[in-house]
């Protein structure tokens, strides 16, 4: 009687598609991650010792410097133009992140908040910088 040859089981894990998987993961990370854009205005938000971490989601960024220049996302203007700049937003009632300079007069912040309220925005986040550990606040 002729005995059949048993198949030899190969003990190698196929890794040929590893780079494809890695590149797919890379593309997913690139698409899903939020890259911080270059700010259109140079502002130094106030330093505070303890702040809650704010996970930035896609939203509208408002930059306000001490001299009254404002930028809504990429659009530059003066503080007086804020209502028009907000009205031009493509996603109207978005989350707002306010990057205001620490040296701004409070009336400018109040003006921004009043404009947001007038256009029925519900939430705004005042962005701050956390004081480095072991350093006294200025």
Partner 1 sequence: MKIKRFAQISSEIPVASMSDIAFLLIVFFMIVAVFSIEAGFSLKLPAKDKPPLEVSDQRIIELRISRDNSLTLNGKSVSPEELGAHLSQPGFRNRQFVSIKAHAKSRYKTAVLVIEQFKRNGFEKISLKKLKP
Query: Which of 6, 33 has the CB closer to partner 1?
Result: 33
Minimum CB separation of residue 121 from partner 1 in Å reads: 6
**Six-digit token pair at 67?**
């001299």
Rounded CA separation 116/89 (Å): 12
Which residue's CB is nearer to partner 1, number 83 or number 102?
Answer: 102
Number of C-alpha atoms within 13 angstroms, CB side, residue 37?
A: 14
> Among residues 2 and 107, whose Cβ is nearest to partner 1?
107
CB atoms within 10 A of CB 117: 11
Which residues contribute to the site for partner 1 (CB under 8 A)?
15, 18-19, 22-23, 25-26, 29-30, 33-36, 45-56, 97, 100-110, 113, 116-118, 120-130, 137
Q: Dihedral sign, CA of 123, 126, 132, 137?
A: negative
Output the smallest distance, CB 119 to partner 1, in A. 8
Using the structure block, give the residue that is written with the tokens 């707002």: 96
Shortest distance (Å) from residue 64 CB to partner 1: 9
């Amino acid at each position: 009687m002729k005995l059949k040859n048993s198949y030899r089981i190969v003990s190698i894990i196929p890794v040929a598609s590893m780079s494809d998987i890695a590149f797919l993961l890379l593309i997913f990370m690139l698409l899903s991650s939020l890259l911080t854009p270059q700010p259109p205005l140079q502002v130094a938000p106030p330093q505070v010792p303890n702040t809650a971490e704010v996970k930035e989601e896609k939203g509208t960024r408002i930059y306000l410097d001490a001299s009254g220049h404002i930028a809504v996302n990429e659009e530059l203007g003066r503080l007086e133009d804020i209502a028009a700049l907000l009205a031009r937003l493509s996603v109207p009632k978005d989350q707002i992140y306010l990057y205001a300079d620490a040296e701004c007069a409070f009336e400018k912040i109040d003006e921004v908040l009043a404009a947001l309220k007038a256009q029925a925005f519900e939430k705004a986040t005042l962005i701050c910088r956390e004081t480095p550990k072991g350093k006294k606040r200025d």
